[in-house]
Structure 1
């Protein structure tokens, strides 16, 4: 029946307007908006952020980050070890004592030293202390050392310039024993060096053992890390320093060294292998330490101490 809206196939009239065609009121929406911007020009695109970062890097001086850290904190476990660390001025962050630990003289001294230095003291369960120290024999006492903050290699030269002195830097090549590193740091501080340089890889770092052997000297003299020791030695040469390496077959005997009063870098190798080939070739001079025939070599810490004493005497 005509006009019957209930009839199948009829059109239901509603208040909404029928959808306009593309040639109607949405024509403006189809108009061109120009070429699509490049990815680096879109503020929220990762390419834009990368370009901005590159611009910022180019505008700053081309040198690596000023400071590096060892990464994770370290632990000193055991009553004697902790007390010695506190006595030597190792920068302990927090002292941890197990619940129910026997209060003997060493524990009371550790508490007193921690209180004098304003350190934190926490009491934990024995199981928790076992977990934190990775199962070390802690005797109910452990100390947490923060990650060491390394200096930049250029800082050692700046330190000498600020002091108005000729630079004196100790570089260690292939020294993997942290006790030798600590001994070299202690000698460097004792004989007026402006810092110690170590490679980032295949070398000892500033562990709790190195701190302990340095007898607190690591808190008074900067230790710098470098990715490539040979390249950094060449950079020191470009800055006006003479680089001398200690070697058993050196061309010059240490007492005859005539470079001691100028800007100097003293390179010390490991006891077993000595200087690596590239480092030895980079040195301006190879210097030997006179010794009795029965002694083949000195460990790195002792060799550094002997050489630095000779340099200090020449400078005096």
Structure 2
């Protein structure tokens, strides 16, 4: 009979797993409605891109933790010549490690005597322990422990130049990640009368034991500052009347035409691979190149810095004699 809901098959037996057959409660209509755009893979739990992004974030976090731990840990300057030069330069040191049964030449004797005169602890250790402390570096049986490097504030660099009564000369590094290059640039900057070196906070080498060793202790005499944002710091210095000269292969002039050398000047050096970054290049008043033989494509960053700073120093000496 029509409308008889109790006829066989009209309703399911009680206790069956399936739900009632009388309508869907609007679920079918809701199921047909759009749910918006599909989230990106990085935001979808379980998606391969989300897993990859999580792994990358974890690696970056571990890298930052390692950098912070390294920055807070003492460094060991290894090697007889670097240790002696560092002690002569009054590098702040906390201990001198000397390997047991070392063949003590004049450099070792001088290092021990200098450390004793400065009140630095002298510790004899097994050679394998010195290997471990120096990270496997060639230490020649001697190592000098120095505390974490104390960076200056960028404003201190201009202040040092004003105190000296000279036109400021500052070297800024853009993406130089090799500590050996950093140490060599610091040594050249000190040799040619620069008032300081500026490093960016990210993507840059820091004052590690390798940088200390390459600088031959001159980092103790020349302030090294860190800028949170290199571009903004260059803009701030430019607003104070300092000229910004970037060393670049595709420059607008070569060092023979660097007439701004006698003015307050910041020399910016880029990395060996990519050179100056776009934003830094755009904030340079001039870009300068070093004329070279066509057989040579480029110079090491620290060598190029030394050549340019030597030319600036020469022009300043000449201007002082006029």
3-state SS in 1 of match to 2:267: strand
Which residue number corresponds to residue 208 of structure 2?
Answer: 207
**For each residue in 1:250-284, what CA deviation from the matched residue of structure 2 results, as whole angstroms up to 9, or x when unmatched?**
01111112211211111011122111111111111
- The answer as to whether partners of 1:90 and 1:212 remain within 8 angstroms in 2 is no
Residue 172 of structure 1: CA displacement? 0.8
Q: Could you tell me which residue of structure 1 aligns to residue 185 of structure 2?
A: 184
> Quick check: 1:93–1:144 contact (8 Å CA) kept in 2?
yes
How far off is 1:219 after superposition? 1.7
* SS in structure 1 of the partner of residue 112 of structure 2: helix
User: In the alignment, what sits opposite 2:104?
Assistant: 104
Per-residue deviation, residues 148-192 of structure 1 (Å, max 9, x unmatched) = 111100111111111222211110111111121112111211221
Secondary structure, in 3 states, of the residue corresponding to 2:261? coil
Deviation at 1:314, TM superposition (A): 2.0
Cα drift, residue 290 of structure 1 = 1.0
Q: How many angstroms apart in 1 are the aligned matches of 2:310 and 2:127?
A: 47
Q: Which residue of 2 aligns with 1:307?
A: 308
In structure 2, the residue matched to 1:246 is 247
- Structure 2 counterparts to residues 65-104 of structure 1, below 5 A: 70-77=71-78, 82-83=83-84, 85-86=86-87, 90-97=91-98, 100-102=100-102, 104=104
Indicate how the Cα distance of structure 1 residues 118 and 172 shifts in structure 2: closer, same or farther if over 3 A, else same. same
Query: Per-residue deviation at 1:79?
Result: 5.7
Give the 3 Å change call, closer, same or farther, for CA 118–248 of structure 1 in structure 2: same
Distance, in Å, in 2 between the alignment partners of 1:247 and 1:302 is 14
The alignment yields a C-alpha RMSD, in angstroms, of 2.6
Q: Distance in 2 between matches of 1:301 and 1:130?
A: 28
Secondary structure of residue in 2 paired with 1:101: coil
Q: State the Cα distance separating 1:101 from its structure 2 match.
A: 3.4
Counterparts in 2 of 1:83 and 1:257: CA distance versus 1, 3 Å: closer
TM-superposed deviation, 1:131: 5.9
User: 2:278 is matched with which residue?
Assistant: 277
- Report the Cα offset of residue 197 of structure 1: 0.5
Structure 2 gaps of 5+ residues are 1-69
Q: TM-score, normalised by structure 1?
A: 0.70
* Partner of residue 50, structure 2: none
139 and 163 in structure 1: CA distance in 2 versus 1, 3 angstrom threshold: closer
**CA displacement at 1:143 relative to structure 2:** 2.3
- Aligned residue number for residue 219 of structure 1: 220
Q: Is the 8 A contact 1:185 1:218 kept in 2?
A: yes
SS of the residue aligned with 1:171?
Answer: strand
Answer yes or no: is the 8 Å Cα contact 2:89–2:220 preserved in 1.
no
Distance 1:308 1:148 in 2: 25
Any unmatched runs of 5+ in structure 1?
1-68
CA contact (8 A) 1:230 1:278 kept: yes
1:295 is paired with a residue of what secondary structure? coil
SS class of match (1:149):
coil
Cα pair distance change 1:121/1:308, threshold 3 Å: same
Give CA deviations for 1:7-61 in whole Å, capped at 9, x if unaligned.
xxxxxxxxxxxxxxxxxxxxxxxxxxxxxxxxxxxxxxxxxxxxxxxxxxxxxxx
Q: Could you say if the C-alpha distance between residues 202 and 96 of structure 1 is closer, same or farther in structure 2, counting changes exceeding 3 Å?
A: same
Distance 2:261 2:139 in 1: 46
Contact 2:82–2:216 (CA<8 Å) still a contact in 1? Answer: no
User: Residue 159 of structure 1 aligns to a residue in which SS?
Assistant: helix
- The C-alpha deviation readout for 1:71-124, integer Å capped at 9, x for no partner, is 2211234667645654665433211345x5345336544323322443211345
